[in-house]
Amino acid sequence: MPRIANLFFTCVVCVTAAMILIAAGQTALRDSTHTGSDESHTVRDASVHVAQSESSASENSAAKTFPIIVRKPIGPPRIELAGTDPQGRSASVACSTCHSVRKPNLENVSAATLDEFHQGMTFEHGKIACYACHNPSDADTLHLADGASVAYEDVMTLCSQCHSKQAESFAHGAHGGMNGHWDLNVGPQMKNNCIDCHDPHAPAYPKMIVGFKPKDRFNEPTDPAEH
Amino acid sequence: MTDKPSLPIVENFSRRAAVKGGFATLGAAAFVAAVSPLRQAASDKSAAEFMQQHYTELSPEQKADVIARLEAETKQNYGAEVTIGDDRPIPGTKFVYAINLSVCNGNGNCVEACHKENNHDRSTNQSYIRVLEMPMGTMDMEQGTTTYTGAVPKDGKFYLPVQCQQCDEPPCVDVCPVKATWKEEDGIVVVDYNWCIGCRYCEAACPYHARRFNWKKPEVPAEEVNPDQSYLSNRIRPVGVVEKCTYCLHRTRRGKLPACLEACPTGARVFGNILDKDSNLRWILENKRVYILKEELGTKPAFFYYFD
Ligand code: SF4
Ligand code: SF4
């Protein structure tokens, strides 16, 4: 008896399996004829997509979205006049107001030898002459070692002639203060220029006074609670 | 990951289990003395806070609830409107810091900037940074002192700012009995201040003295509270827990520079993503001779010092 039951059961299973297989095969066939074109479409789309994301990735690493902005000094300095006019107004004048009518002394290296203007100025920048940086033929600009004139705004070009090590470090964010973003995909970064921190006439970084100190066990005999 | 918060006792992962264990091994009196600041902490702990799961086990909804609760508590206790973010590591970043010791003059502006940025206790002038005045010719930070005052730099000295080095092999993480502190994918070692039991093992384990303990409830006047906060970073910490520098993750994970770097008037500090081959950090590592502190300990700091 169990034998016949077994046989019968096997038959049922076989028939069911065959039905399922056939049905599945037909569906597959229908699908493949139907969606053939769709599929190729999807594939093409995907490749476009990949290409797009690749190009945006390379853009990100090559040209960052936000700039590094180096602060520029405001143009040529202006000289405040000591006296006032009959209406009591004070005035400031451009360097060239006086310097275009005075003969430059190319040898001068110190404020001590000046008999009229710029007296009492501290000058501690090696042994260079005033006209190593200031332009003798146009007092409202500076000039490079090769004589090319350079605007006051671009003073960093001038400094970098001698201080190339610092300029190189600066270019790699390893010299000079900054703020803003480390990630230029998110926002810009602002950097100081040379003369924000260094007085061009006495460039040694000034001494500072220590202000803030944490009150902890490294500083004081401390809090009894800590022992 | 974890589907539903289960009873935390099942794993030895809960502070409650650790507290119980502590009682069993130390004896009640010794343990109570050891964690005395904790008693004060426990008294102002809300029930919701005590029931909170470990940060890494919170679902997004639970996190949102916790953060809303913390914002409300800050409003209530400090009178300040703050937003607490849940800043996660940016994929493809590993943060590294470098300091140019030829340039640092020990003025301490970074120390103060950290104090303000990270909502430190005002009465103790707490900060995650210490600047050590060092004798020339050694990199042994134990020879430095922080007690110098007046005009800097002084002759014959250099200045060594020390803060958490975000070690790649952090001993502080290994010793935590409740896993309240761990290292994230961008290299930052963080603390879940709501999970920390204040045992201070990590403070003792850190060779750089970089961890700080909140002996008292931090005092910060409402108008001085920095409202841009993050859960794992500068939100006001409760009393009785340990805290540390997080490279200002509430800023740096949003693309900004750390507060100590922006405050540095000498430009000695450099921060960036070491995985970016064009980064400032990579240039320094390739072109300068860099030092790390206590190299022999094998902690592998993500913090470099150089001279130029
Ligand atoms: S410096 Fe100290 S606190 Fe920071 S990761 Fe290293 S051991 Fe931990
Ligand atoms: S004090 Fe440190 S070691 Fe102890 S629980 Fe807190 S984070 Fe972990």
CB of B186 closer than 8 Å to CB of B232: no
Res. A63 pLDDT band, cuts 50 70 90: low
Higher pLDDT: A111 or B224? It is B224
CA R_g for chain B: 20
- Flag whether the ipTM exceeds 0.95: no
What is the phi-psi region of residue A176: left when phi exceeds 0, alpha when psi lies from -120 to 50, beta otherwise? left
Q: What is the pLDDT of residue B220?
A: 95
The per-residue DSSP string of B75-112 comes to HHHH----EEE-PPPPTT--EEEEEETTT-----HHHH
Identify the top-confidence range among B10-14, B56-60, B81-85: B81-85
Q: Is residue A46 part of a domain?
A: no
The per-residue DSSP string of A13-70 comes to HHHHHHHHHHHHHHHHHHHHHHHHHHHHHHHHHHHHHHHHHHHHHHHHHHS-SS-EEE
- Rounded to the nearest angstrom, the distance between the alpha carbon of B302 and the centre of ligand 2 is 21
Q: Is residue A221 part of a domain?
A: no
Does the CB atom of residue B271 touch ligand 1 within 6 A? no
pLDDT for residue B268 is more than 50: yes
Query: Which of B111, B252, B257 has the CB atom closest to A214's CB atom?
Result: B111
Residue A186 CA to residue A183 CA, distance in Å, equals: 6
pLDDT for residue B159 is more than 50: yes
Which ligand has an atom closest to residue B199 CA? 2
pLDDT for residue B24 is more than 80: no
Which ligand has an atom closest to residue B244 CA? 1
Domain ranges of chain B: 95-307
Does the CB atom of residue B166 touch ligand 1 within 6 A? yes
Nearest alpha-carbon partner for B270 in B158, B159, B104: B104
Higher pLDDT: A17 or B102? It is B102
Domain count within chain A? 1
Does the CB atom of residue B189 touch ligand 2 within 6 A? no
For residue B306, give both structure tokens: 């150089």
Q: Is residue A212 part of a domain?
A: no
Res. A45 pLDDT band, cuts 50 70 90: very low
| Cα angle B263-B265-B271, degrees, rounded to a multiple of 5 | 60
Q: Is residue A118 part of a domain?
A: yes
Instruction: Kindly report the average pLDDT of chain A as a whole number.
Output: 77
pLDDT for residue A225 is more than 50: no
Residue pLDDT, tens place only, A67-114? 999 999 888 988 888 788 888 888 888 999 889 898 999 999 988 888
Q: Is residue A37 part of a domain?
A: no
pLDDT for residue A6 is more than 70: no
- Bond prior to A221 in cis (omega within 30° of 0): no
- Rounded to the nearest angstrom, the distance between the alpha carbon of B190 and the centre of ligand 1 is 10
Specify the 3-state DSSP secondary structure of A197. Answer: helix
Question: What domain range is A102 assigned to?
Answer: 68-80+91-191
Res. A55 pLDDT band, cuts 50 70 90: very low
Q: Is the minimum CB–CB distance between A218 and chain B shorter than 8 Å?
A: yes
Q: In terms of CA atoms, which chain B residue is nearest residue A60? A: B276
Q: Is residue A132 part of a domain?
A: yes
Pocket test for ligand 2, best of B191, B239, B243 (most atoms within 8 A of CB): B191
Q: Is residue A8 part of a domain?
A: no
Q: What is the pLDDT of residue A121?
A: 86
Closest CA of chain A from B175, distance in Å:
21
Residue pLDDT, tens place only, B234-247? 999 999 999 999 99
Q: What is the pLDDT of residue A91?
A: 85
Q: Is residue A19 part of a domain?
A: no
- For the domain covering B95-307, report its CATH number: 3.30.70.20
